[in-house]
Amino acid sequence: MFWQDPQFGNKLITMMAALVLVLQIMMVAQRWLVTNIRAFGVQSFLLAAIAATIAHFNHAPHIYIVAALTLVFKAILLPLVLERMVTKIEMQQQMEPFVNVPVSVIVSGLLTLLAYVVAESFHRPEEASGMGHNTLDVAIALFLIGFFMMVNRRKALTQVLALLCLENGLFLAAISLTYGMPLIVEIGIFFDVLVATLLLGILIYRIRETFDSMDVSRLSRLRG
């Protein structure tokens, strides 16, 4: 049956990884914050699906736990929390990137190309059948584009979003290279990411109270 055929699993994973990359470039390209957060949610959902697929075809039950955690926290909880923050502090919904949208998309394309070149050095012919190994390129691309988003955004909240995208790239890399880190480590990383997001959220509230703005480029009084 097709759901037991590793070939099929591999194709499924490749397709989902491609979608993940498309979503990432969409986040760079469009300007509405709420859409961005939802795109992040869908991306996390796809990552959970990739993890579950690998768990199914490799008979590695501990990856199911990782997939479930991703689904609950990153695909549902974090997007909800972030959206509530956006409505609560009534910030402007536009992104206001430093570099305009067409140039940003071209930069993302170039970064994807770079990611493929880097991932090439990991390619081993004898492992061509390994499940999910072809998603490493996407993982590195996510990581690099996440960096670009980080430096290209003014708003505090969008920088947090970029940090989460970086983390998604990492997650995909860990899954595709080694079928996930050991469970305790994986859970610990989850916990760290959650706490970090929470603390950054509190910090954003305080910045908003003090500066009456979320524009990080205004945080420039400390120099030299």
Partner 1 sequence: MTILALLLIPLLASAVTVGLRNVRRMELVYLLSAAGSFVAALWLAADVLSAGPVTLAGGFFYADHLSALVAVLTAFVYLVSAPYAVGYFRSDEQQPASAISARKLREYYALTPLLGFSMFLVVVSNNLGVMWMAVEGTTLASIFLVTFYGRGTSLEAAWKYAILGGVGLSMALFGTVLTYYAAHEVLGGESLSVLNWSVLAASAVHFDKTVMRLSFILVLLGFGTKAGMAPMHTWKPDAYSEAPIPVSALMATAVVNCALYAVARFYVLTGHALGTSFASQLLVLFGLLSVGIAVPFILVQRSYRRLLAYSSIDHGGIMVLGLGFGGPLGALGMLLHMTFYSVTKPLLFFCAGNAQQQTGNDSLKRGPGGLLHSLPVSAPMFLLAALALTATPPFSMFQSEFTILRAGFAAQRVGAVILFVVLTVAIFCGFFYHVANLVFGPPSAGPRGESSRWKTYPVIVLSLIVVVLAFWLPAPVYALIDGASRILVIQP
Contact positions vs partner 1 (CB under 8 A): 60, 62, 118, 121-122, 143, 147, 150, 156, 159, 163, 166-167, 170, 173-174, 177-179, 181-185, 188-189, 191-192, 195-196, 199-200, 202-203, 206-207, 210-211, 216, 219-222, 224
* Three-state DSSP state, 218: helix
**Comparison of 49 and 153: residue with beta carbon closer to partner 1:** 153
**Comparison of 1 and 222: residue with beta carbon closer to partner 1:** 222
Q: From CA 206, how far away is CA 88, in angstroms rounded?
A: 14
**Comparison of 4 and 178: residue with beta carbon closer to partner 1:** 178
**Comparison of 68 and 216: residue with beta carbon closer to partner 1:** 216
* Least gap, CB of 184 to partner 1 (angstroms): 6
Gyration radius of the chain's alpha carbons: 18
* Least gap, CB of 1 to partner 1 (angstroms): 27
- Which stretches within the chain are classed as H helix? 6-29, 33-58, 62-69, 78-88, 101-120, 136-152, 156-178, 183-211
Q: From CA 109, how far away is CA 117, in angstroms rounded?
A: 13
**Comparison of 18 and 185: residue with beta carbon closer to partner 1:** 185
Name the region of 155 (left: φ>0; alpha: ψ -120 to 50; beta: rest). Answer: beta
* Least gap, CB of 81 to partner 1 (angstroms): 17
* Least gap, CB of 102 to partner 1 (angstroms): 25
- Residues near 21 by beta carbon (within 8 Å), at least 6 away in sequence: 112, 138, 141, 142
